[in-house]
Amino acid sequence: MSGNVSRISISIDPELLEEFDKTTQKIGYNRSTAVQLAMRDFLTEHKWKDIEGVLAGVITMMYDHHTGNVMEELTHLQHDYTDIINSSTHIHLDHHNCLEILAVKGEAAKIKTLAEALGTTRGVKQIRVTLMR
Ligand code: NI
């Protein structure tokens, strides 16, 4: 790390922070190092978004179906992208959580738009996009 650092203040779900700190301590990193590593992973994971052309892969997301209208909103969104969603699988994980897997194939830019819309829907806890070509 260079001598030049930026200090930031962010808002985090306390439960997420507690889990993050526990894992960080277990590995032996301090919070700043762990956040930087997480940010680098985030950047790597999103690099595919600069790629143009047709890609295929999966969008995996987890959400609590009790939160707001999350199920309705996700279904609504998926109906707007029937041209790139080939199939979807819904797994009821427990009383609260659902795992949904979408198989997608289409223009990278369109997959990106869909993934961002899904990921920013209130109630979606995690989303992962894995694409290949
Ligand atoms: Ni479910």
Residue range 86-129, pLDDT digits in tens: 999 999 999 999 999 999 999 999 999 999 999 999 999 999 99
Structural domains present in the chain = 14-45 (no CATH), 52-132 (3.30.70.1150)
Cα–ligand 1 centroid distance for 76 (angstroms): 16
End-to-end CA distance of the chain: 35
Per-residue pLDDT, 80: 97
65: its two tokens:
């179906």
Give the pairing type, strands 85-92 and 54-64: unpaired
Cα–ligand 1 centroid distance for 113 (angstroms): 24
Cα–ligand 1 centroid distance for 69 (angstroms): 13
Q: Sign of torsion, CA 18 19 20 22?
A: positive
Average pLDDT for residues 44-63, to the nearest whole number? Answer: 85
Q: pLDDT at residue 1 above 60?
A: no
At residue 2 the predicted structure's pLDDT band, cuts being 50, 70 and 90, is low
Task: Write down the H helix ranges in the chain.
Answer: 14-27, 31-45, 70-79, 108-119
Residues 11-34 have pLDDT tens digits of: 999 999 999 999 999 999 999 999
pTM: 0.71
Are the CB atoms for 104 and 111 separated by under 8 Å? yes
Instruction: Give how far Cα 21 sits from Cα of 6, 26, 47, 60, Å.
Output: 20, 8, 27, 25
Cα–ligand 1 centroid distance for 100 (angstroms): 8
Are the CB atoms for 100 and 77 separated by under 8 Å? no
Does an H or E element contain 126, and which? Answer: strand 124-132
